[in-house]
């Protein structure tokens, strides 16, 4: 899978793409990432990518011409592989695991990172998707671009060491992840649940599933509306009462 990042600050991605899970996937060739400086697509000696907004107002607006040229260059370089172009913007659809799974199925993703006060509105007509990192304001689209690459990239086969890992994480099955423990067995009076030490694999899986459901009910009950639950699990939810959990 390939990611192309269109940005005014290409050095921003140097460290993240050389460390961790995504860094290893890039070094192994499982993921390919191209970083494109939008300034390289300007046509003036000052490499201008922004200008004052028509009608007045605070801040600067990213110009349409260099962004359009950058997008067209990336689309053209894709050859026979269709490129999905994503615009990072607070006005986009909020990014979630369902979006990550959708993007994972695409062969090539280009992410346009915004800066300044926003984009010339005509840029929106050049992209396929608009994605927001959440209901808050960041200084630019580089952080959301990294977030998208990380969330999508780790879903690609062989990126994670354990193939089943994404299935058991929060949101992997529509629920929050169950509690995890490691050694020591007891720490400051807090003990690992006995079922995890029992060797009863069926019992462990049942406990984990119930804990996942209980944690989701307490912290993100909205997720249960879309989760696939058995009749037994729905009855289990009916017996639960909201309250503090460790």
Do both 93 and 34 map to the same domain?
yes
- For 25-31, the CB contacts below 8 A with 24+ separation are 25/153, 25/156, 25/158, 25/159, 28/158, 30/1, 30/156, 30/158, 30/159, 31/1, 31/2, 31/3, 31/153, 31/156, 31/159
Do both 149 and 185 map to the same domain?
no
% of the chain with per-residue pLDDT over 70? 93
Torsion angle of alpha carbons 147, 148, 152, 154, nearest 10°? -20
In a domain, 162, yes or no: no
Q: What stretch of H or E contains 37?
A: strand 32-37
For 32-88, write each residue's pLDDT tens digit: 999 999 999 999 999 999 999 999 988 999 999 999 999 999 999 987 789 999 999
Do both 126 and 173 map to the same domain?
no
- CB-based contact 219:245 (threshold 8 Å): no
* Torsion sign across C-alpha atoms 49, 50, 51, 55: positive
Do both 99 and 148 map to the same domain?
yes
Which among 245, 196, 242 is positioned nearest to 221, based on CA atoms? 242
- Residue 17 and residue 33: Cα distance in Å, rounded? 8
The pLDDT-based confidence of 3 (bands split at 50, 70, 90) is very high
In a domain, 201, yes or no: yes
Do both 107 and 177 map to the same domain?
no
Asked if the model's pLDDT at residue 246 lies above 70, the reply is no
Domain boundary residue, one of 126, 153, 180: 153
141-161 b/e with 16+ CB inside 10 Å = b? bbebbbbbbebbbbbeeebbe
Phi/psi for 223 (5° steps) reads -70, -25
Mean of the per-residue pLDDT values for the chain? 92
Residue 205: CB partners within 8 Å, gap ≥ 6? none
Q: How many domains are contained in the chain?
A: 2
Asked if the model's pLDDT at residue 238 lies above 70, the reply is yes
For residue 153, what pLDDT is reported?
A: 96
Give the CA angle between residues 17, 19, 24 to the nearest 5°.
85
For 95-143, write each residue's pLDDT tens digit: 999 999 999 999 899 999 988 888 999 999 999 999 999 999 899 999 9
Range of the domain at 141: 2-153
Do both 37 and 105 map to the same domain?
yes
CA-atom Rg of the chain in angstroms: 22
For residue 96, what pLDDT is reported?
A: 94
In a domain, 93, yes or no: yes
- CB-based contact 123:64 (threshold 8 Å): yes
């Amino acid at each position: 899978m390939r990611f192309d990042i269109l940005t005014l600050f290409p050095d921003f991605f140097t460290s993240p793409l050389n460390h961790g899970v995504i860094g290893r996937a890039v070094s192994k060739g499982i993921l390919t990432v191209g970083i494109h400086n939008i300034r390289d697509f300007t046509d003036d000696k000052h490499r201008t990518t922004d200008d004052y907004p028509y009608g007045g107002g605070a801040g600067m607006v990213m110009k349409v011409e260099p962004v359009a040229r950058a997008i067209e260059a990336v689309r053209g370089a894709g050859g026979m592989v269709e490129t999905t172009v994503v615009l990072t913007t607070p006005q986009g659809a909020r990014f979630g695991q369902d979006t990550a799974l959708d993007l994972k199925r695409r062969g090539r993703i280009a992410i346009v990172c915004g800066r300044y006060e926003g984009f010339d509105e005509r840029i929106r007509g050049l992209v396929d998707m608009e994605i927001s990192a959440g209901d808050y304001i960041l200084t630019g689209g580089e952080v959301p671009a990294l977030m998208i690459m990380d969330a999508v990239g780790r879903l690609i086969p062989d990126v994670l060491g354990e193939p089943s890992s994404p299935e058991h994480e929060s949101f992997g099955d529509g629920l929050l992840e169950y509690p995890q423990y490691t050694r020591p067995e007891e720490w400051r009076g807090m003990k690992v649940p006995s079922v995890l030490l029992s060797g009863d694999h069926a019992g462990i899986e049942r406990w984990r599933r119930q804990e996942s459901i209980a944690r989701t009910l307490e912290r993100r009950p909205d997720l249960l509306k879309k989760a696939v639950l058995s009749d037994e699990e729905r009855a289990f939810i009916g017996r639960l009462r909201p309250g503090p959990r460790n």
